[in-house]
Each structure stands twice: as structure tokens, then as C-alpha cells.
Amino acid sequence: MNNYKFILLILLTTFLMGSSFAVVKVALLYSSPLLLAALRFTLAGFIMAVIVIVLKRKHPTTQGNWIMMLTIGAFQTAGVMGCIFLSLRTITASESSILTFTNPLLVVVFGTIFLKTNYKLYQWIGVLLGLVGVSITMGAQIEFKIGILFGILSAVFWAISTLLAKKWGAFFDTWVLSAYQMLFGGLLLLLCSFLFEKPFFILNVNSFFILLWLSIMSSIVQFAVWYYLLQNGDPGKTSAYLFLAPFFGVLSGWLLLGEPLYSSLIVGGLFIIIGIYLVNSNFQQKSSLVRRTL
């Protein structure tokens, strides 16, 4: 893949990741949060499920594998996205995106504790810088808001689902896993909506097109481009660019919603961005490639 194509696609997928926070913030004018998340991912999961069936992608053949996919969907779609949508009721899109995208830092911590994974020193430095960034970003809060807790929980659930996907991912076709975990997670969010909130959705032209954008562009297209990059390029290099997602989250919150760019938000966000870059980079692999070239 040439560099221009790579840069264009990485900008597209990280922009869709980050800007979805501001789009959801607007969408909450028309819907209760859990119902909005449920509609988004049920629709996206259904469309992708139809696609993988038509393409005859390999589906799980055992009950245990279906349960694994349901579990990943419970954490990745229901847990992560439910918490994001709930967080946006009380905090800004910028703050929610920054908190959510600290998940690569938590992957290092949880991976070490539960999977006994060994990480490099620079990755732990990235975790430390990320935690400093969160402290700076949230330290400006005069009062505690429940959205902060939901933002942190979204990162925790995302880190757990990442580790589960790493552990169980080899059992599944990537596209099948994505389709059904979104569909299962969306249906679980639908159940949670009727149990824990008073669901409502105001259907008009604006809400209809926002829902389509979130389901197709911010879910299906974002996923397709991201996995295309992972499968057709260097996964380490691709993952390192995840730092762009919270950048686009802050930028879209400022441009679309007029959210103020506090100095604490900018400085803390920069620390987190650097931390994410260090955690996802593979300098050892890069240096060995240089030595082989020389």
C-alpha cells in the first residue's frame, strides 16, 4: 500500500472514530442515550450480518463460540457504547472522547495483570504519560459529573473487550465477529433501554440521517477501513495512529458544538495522545528492521 493511500485511509477511519462523539451529542437531542446506541448498532450489525451471510463467510459451528461472540459484544458494543452515550449527557464530546480513548493504556495494565503479558519500558512510560494526561484533563473539573465515571468505564470495557478479542479472535472470521458482536450488543442495549430508562426517539429528517451516519459511516465504514488497514499493512504502524482519534474528537467537539478548548484539555489531551502513540508503537521491531537494512 502506498503512503498516500495509507494516510488518506487512516485519516478517514480515525476521523470517523473521533467525530462520532460530537455527532452522538447532537443525536441525543432526539433520543434517549441507550435507545440511540441500540438502534445504531442493531442496524449496523444487521446490515453486516446480511453481508457476511451473502458472502458466505465462515460462521461459528459450536454453542461455545457463539457465547464468546456474545460476550465480546456485551463488553465492546453494549458496555463501551452504552457508557459513551450515557457520558455525553453530562460531559462534553471532547472529554468523553479523551477518556474513552485511554483504553490502549488500560490494555497494558490489564494485560499484565490478567494475561501475564510482557510490555516494553516505553509502553509503560506511555501508560504513565496517559494517566498524567487524564489527571490534567479532569483536574480542571470543579465538580464531579457522573459522565466522567461513564467515560472511564467505557475505556475499561473497551480494554477488556480488546483482551478478549486477542484471546478468542483466532476462532472467528473477523468480519463475522464484528457483525454479530454489534448485533448482539445492540439487542442487549435495546433491552437495557427498556429496563433502565424511559426510551424515546423523535423521528424526523435530522434524526434519521444522523442515525444512518452513525450506523453506516461511523460503524460499518469505519470498521471496514480499519480492518483493511490492519490486514493490508503493518498492524503496529496502523495502531500507532489511534492517537488521532481523540484529536478528532476534541476538534469536532469544538467545530460542531462550540465546546471550549481549555488549556487543561489541550495539555492533558497531548499527554494522552503521546501515551497512546508509545503504547501502540513497536520501536524494537523498527530498530531491528533498520539493522537488517544496514
Answer for the pair 153, 83: CB distance below 8 angstroms, yes or no. Answer: yes
Instruction: Kindly list the domain boundaries of the chain, sorted by start residue.
Output: 3-293
Average pLDDT in the chain: 88
Query: Residue 283 has what pLDDT?
Result: 60
Question: What's residue 293's pLDDT?
Answer: 34
Is the confidence at residue 236, as pLDDT, over 70?
no
Task: Compute how many other C-beta atoms are within 10 angstroms of the C-beta atom of residue 39.
Answer: 22
Dihedrals φ, ψ of 53, to 5°? -70, -45
Write out pLDDT tens, residues 182-230.
999 999 999 999 999 999 999 999 999 999 999 999 999 998 898 888 7
pLDDT of amino acid 227: 84
Q: All 3 cell numbers of residue 42?
A: 442493531
> In this predicted model, what pLDDT tens digit does every residue of 52-87 receive, in sequence order?
999 999 999 999 999 999 999 999 999 999 999 999
pLDDT band for position 264 (cuts 50, 70, 90) = confident
pLDDT value of position 284: 54
**Residue 77 DSSP class:** I
Beta strand residue intervals within 175-216, DSSP E:
none
pLDDT for the residue 169: 84
For 270-291, give the DSSP string.
HHHHHHHHHHH--HHHHHHHHH
Whether the predicted pLDDT of 287 surpasses 50: no
Check: CB of residue 183 under 8 Å from CB of residue 53.
no
Q: What is the pLDDT of residue 30?
A: 97
Which of residues 264 and 197 earns the better pLDDT score? Answer: 197
- Of 145-149, 177-181, 193-197, 198-202, the poorest mean pLDDT is in 145-149
Distance CA(181)–CA(183), nearest Å, equals 5
Q: Which residues contact 81 (CB under 8 A, 6 or more apart)?
A: 37, 40, 41, 154, 185, 189
CB distance 261 to 91 below 8 Å:
no
Residues in the chain: 294
pTM of the shown model: 0.88
Identify whether the C-beta of residue 24 lies closer than 8 Å to the C-beta of residue 84.
Answer: yes
Q: What is the pLDDT of residue 60?
A: 93
Task: Name the nearest CA neighbour of 179 among 68, 75, 16, 53.
Answer: 53
Residue 201 φ/ψ, nearest 5 degrees: -145, 115
pLDDT in tens, 78-137: 999 999 999 999 999 988 998 898 898 898 999 899 888 888 899 999 999 988 888 787
CA dist 281 and 238 (Å) reads 9
